[in-house]
Amino acid sequence: PRRVRVHHLTELKARGEKITMLTAYDAVTAQIFDAAGIDVLLVGDSIGNTMHGHPTTLPVTVDDLIPPARAVARTARRALVVVDLPFGSYEAGPEQALATGVRFLKETGVNAVKLEGGRRVAAQVRALTDAGIPVVGHLGYTPQSENLLGGPRVQGRGDDAAERLSEDALAVAEAGAIAVVLEMVPVDVAARVTEILRVPTIGIGAGQQCDGQVLVWTDMAGMTDWSPRFAQRYAELGEALGRAAEAYAADVRGGAFPDEAHGFTR
Ligand code: KIV
Ligand code: NA
């Protein structure tokens, strides 16, 4: 499609074509990933870890996410742009979720919001959807609940947990969710959820059977020394950037930059 819309996601699933999603937190990366043909750009609350130097996503606020969401929405020409509802901005109930969602759509131009949880947030998904705000769900390991979950751990292991995860996925889908992210979920559980949902599943550490995949871009591009086991590093950009900075510093110190070509005449 010329512009990815909500209905295209379900169409891609129906045709068995994979959906691609990456995080983006600024205009620079949004432009690059949009031109690369990534279908969905997520202004994730992972900005807390990746860009703002926090240990978790918990301190991220709506005010933190407004400028990056605006930058990505302004820049993307083809991709669908989704922003995370940060911790504390939707859990209280449908009214709070709706107020936050409306603020993001009014002030940033994003196309959809994402929130974490299953049955416990089904009423929020319904209220946002009824107001015309598309919602992406997020199940399995949900980083905003890291204190309760005991850190990044696979979720949905064992028959009971797998059944609960399926019920949660059905609940958010029935409430109107346009897609569901599955994070750190056993391969067979993610496959089962993918099978029972009409809307697409987007996996991260959830195996090959999901209808799409999402990665945090800094993991995908190898910006940092450490990346999670479920991510693949498609470049070593951190190292490349470090080498570029060292070469620049050496040239400045040695007088090789700037040369005549970079100067202005009078
Ligand atoms: O914030 C984020 O980057 C996310 C993805 C990992 C799905 O929620
Ligand atoms: Na997130």
Partners of 83 in beta bridges:
43, 113
Greatest Cα-to-Cα distance within the chain, rounded to the nearest angstrom? 77
User: Domains in the chain, please, with CATH?
Assistant: 6-235 (3.20.20.60), 236-266 (no CATH)
Confidence (pLDDT) at 188: 98
pTM: 0.97
Which residues are documented as binding site? 45-46, 84, 114, 116
Q: Is 195 a catalytic residue?
A: no
Angle between helices 159-174 and 122-130 (to 10 degrees): 20
* Residue 106: both structure tokens together: 């009014």
Among protein residues, the one with the nearest Cα to ligand 1's atom 8 is 44
For residue 215, give the ligand 1 atom closest to its CA: 6
For residue 214, give the ligand 1 atom closest to its CA: 7
| Whole-angstrom distance, CA of residue 170 vs CA of residue 195 | 11
Full DSSP string of 140-178: ES-GGGHHHHTSS---S-SHHHHHHHHHHHHHHHHTT-S
Which of 19, 113, 114, 202 maximizes ligand 1 atoms within 8 Å of its Cβ, making it the mutation to test the pocket?
114
Nearest ligand, measured from the Cα of 85:
2
Which of 183, 185, 215 maximizes ligand 1 atoms within 8 Å of its Cβ, making it the mutation to test the pocket?
183
Confidence (pLDDT) at 1: 81
Q: How far is the CA of 66 from the centre of ligand 2 (A)?
A: 15
| Whole-angstrom distance, CA of residue 45 vs CA of residue 67 | 13
Which of 107, 183, 246, 260 is an active site residue?
A: 183
Which residues are documented as binding site for Mg(2+)? 45, 84, 116
**41-85 per-position pLDDT tens digit:** 999 999 999 999 999 999 999 999 999 999 999 999 999 999 999
Q: What is the pLDDT along the chain (266 residues), one digit of tens a residue?
A: 899 999 999 999 999 999 999 999 999 999 999 999 999 999 999 999 999 999 999 999 999 999 999 999 999 999 999 999 999 999 999 999 999 999 999 999 999 999 999 999 999 999 999 999 999 999 999 999 999 999 999 999 999 999 999 999 999 999 999 999 999 999 999 999 999 999 999 999 999 999 999 999 999 999 999 999 999 999 999 999 999 999 999 999 999 999 999 999 98
The answer to whether ipTM exceeds 0.90 is: yes
- Of the candidates 138, 144, 33, the one whose C-alpha atom is nearest the C-alpha of residue 80 is 33
